[in-house]
Structure 1
């Protein structure tokens, strides 16, 4: 699912079933400690996905360890993101010469708990959520996933925090059929910042898909050399 939402220069791997812990590096196994079985399975399988994506980029397997704010530490010259939810794990990686950042997120296509959407949504977003047609994708969960995706794209690149209220999202639906629905979204960062390259980053464009009981969202921002030096620097095209 995730590969359909990202450019061909992004290496993607996903899993709908879990693998064994024999695939972990010792440093990774140490991080698990006495974690419960569910945590062990998602931790192990998403790292297996990451190593498959590294292999697609022609790189050897390596441990995937958490850095600041638990952002994955990738090999030099690599950017990427991982995600997991019940029944799904995925990783998406790219060379920094191709992409400035990549963010992905996956969620079950189920309603959020009562009160959660009101705590994450801006007024325009809440109106969009409440206008959903019966039987369509759960818009509250889609909004949550896309905001998580924005954060995963923003933080490794900018090294600053974003709150849910710091990005305003707008969605479009491209297609709906018996297998699910898909579309695009735009995220306007309400407190834009200047990247270390000198380029402004104040917006992202992304893609989403909903099927198999899942919602996946993805953002890929081209390398800074290809962006404008003024605000509104975005980019994301499907494979």
Structure 2
């Protein structure tokens, strides 16, 4: 029977045990909501331990939460996007992500020129510091945060026709050669490993789960069964909203 990978012992067990982690249960309760956060005025479907993006409905303003559910205030993300003292998201070009309505946000993005999504490297950061690299993935305006992405190109630019899963922290930087917060092993390129083997999938595979390429931390799909569980978790509206 596979052992569960838990908390602080993960790093010490890495060299002697490579196991598939238990699937994380996501529980929302009113006492775990951040200060100023109510169950009626926010929406967040991209979460693990309350992490991910959030929207305040009355102003349609975007915020970002860390892996502990705290609104991230006065922080800078990979690529230069940031939040202000109230936690409002601001793109790297200075655009404040507050739109008034959902339609206004959609109209804004439809009016913008196409932004190429690709790998980038922050030369001011270490190649690997405590399991976090200086690679990030996104546009020149914003990066991917608190998420798993299945990508065909590795951070070093190599391709072999297959997709690999990469995990990015709440600041948008790639985890490498470590255990991710939801208990998965990743190699020096940041690629997901299950039972000591790098997981890969075909670009054109018709298996239904292969339609998923983006998973919140805590709801990763790496095969058909885990993708079904992930879809049930992050595809179902939060019961508190």
Report the structure, 1 or 2, having the larger strand content: 1
Q: TM-score, normalised by structure 1?
A: 0.24
Report the structure, 1 or 2, having the larger helix content: 1
